[in-house]
């Protein structure tokens, strides 16, 4: 029986990029928020390219333990095996100066990014612990360590995810479970397209990013696939930056 990968935000952006790579080897449970049309298209594209991959969609916003529990239960109803791989990719970016935003927005970011990541990890780890195998990949960001105005909440939750990743990795490493985080920089997705286009027009990509371009989603997906493999069994508690060298210098993007 194929191992099962549960990917939140798995039908768009970086989550979808991870799904298209993991589909080569794993069955997929893809959680998504509200865009059902886009989710159905994503599923059909994956199955067209990988007909032996079973793909199931799970609709619903994730904002903490209760919704995570509901998702985990629904996945269990569809699949006979529990997730051996968990990729916590879901979460929205909402910029704005701290004092100019309603505080409820900060609370929502904590629930969506940090508490959901913690809750799903807690649920999936129980079976991983029993099976003596598991892979968890959490999504951080270069914003966890390289700051800009308007991202107080985002920097907070991503920093929290990095601490969570490292500490939890220590607790479960002896059971063959690895937990790592990816910290992307500017990756060209629908969410960042406007920013990428503006930087191209200004001819400032080279100034901001040493490699001189935005990252491609598939580059993030390939890294996730490697971390899920046996070849990465000695890597745990790591936060891996994938940003074209952006964090080496000017961090104002």
Q: What is the C-alpha separation between 66 and 58, in angstroms, rounded?
A: 15
Sheet of 83-88, strand order? 55-59, 27-32, 4-8, 83-88, 134-139, 177-184, 239-242
Alpha-helical segments (H) within 50-173: 65-78, 103-109, 116-131, 152-172
Active site (annotated) includes residue 154: yes
Residue corresponding to tokens 């508690």: 237
Please, are residues 163 and 180 in contact by the beta-carbon 8 Å criterion? no
Q: What is the C-alpha separation between 52 and 239, in angstroms, rounded?
A: 32
Active-site residue (options: 72, 122, 154, 234)? 154
Q: What is the C-alpha separation between 79 and 103, in angstroms, rounded?
A: 39
Catalytic residues: 154
């Amino acid at each position: 029986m194929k191992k099962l990968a549960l990917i939140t935000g798995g039908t768009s952006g970086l989550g979808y990029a991870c799904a298209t790579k993991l589909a080569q080897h794993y069955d997929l449970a893809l959680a998504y928020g509200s865009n059902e049309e886009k989710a159905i298209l994503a599923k059909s594209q994956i199955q067209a390219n990988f007909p032996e991959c079973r793909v199931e969609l799970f609709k619903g916003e994730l904002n903490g333990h209760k919704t995570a529990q509901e998702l985990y239960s629904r996945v269990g109803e569809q699949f006979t095996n529990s997730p051996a791989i968990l990729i916590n990719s879901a979460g929205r970016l909402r910029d704005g100066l701290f004092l100019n935003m309603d505080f409820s927005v900060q609370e929502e970011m904590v629930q969506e990014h940090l508490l959901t990541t913690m809750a799903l990890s807690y649920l999936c780890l129980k079976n991983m612990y029993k099976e003596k195998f598991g892979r968890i990949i959490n999504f951080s960001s270069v914003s966890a360590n390289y700051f800009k105005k308007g991202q107080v909440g985002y920097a907070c939750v991503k920093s929290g995810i990095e601490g969570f990743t490292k500490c939890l990795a220590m607790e479960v490493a002896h059971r063959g479970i690895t937990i790592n985080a990816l910290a992307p920089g500017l990756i060209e997705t629908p969410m960042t397209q406007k920013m990428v286009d503006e930087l191209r027009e200004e001819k400032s990509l080279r100034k901001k990013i040493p490699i001189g371009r935005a990252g491609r989603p598939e580059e993030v997906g390939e890294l996730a696939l490697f971390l899920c493999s046996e070849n990465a069994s000695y890597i745990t508690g790591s936060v891996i930056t994938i940003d074209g060298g952006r964090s080496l210098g000017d961090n104002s993007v």
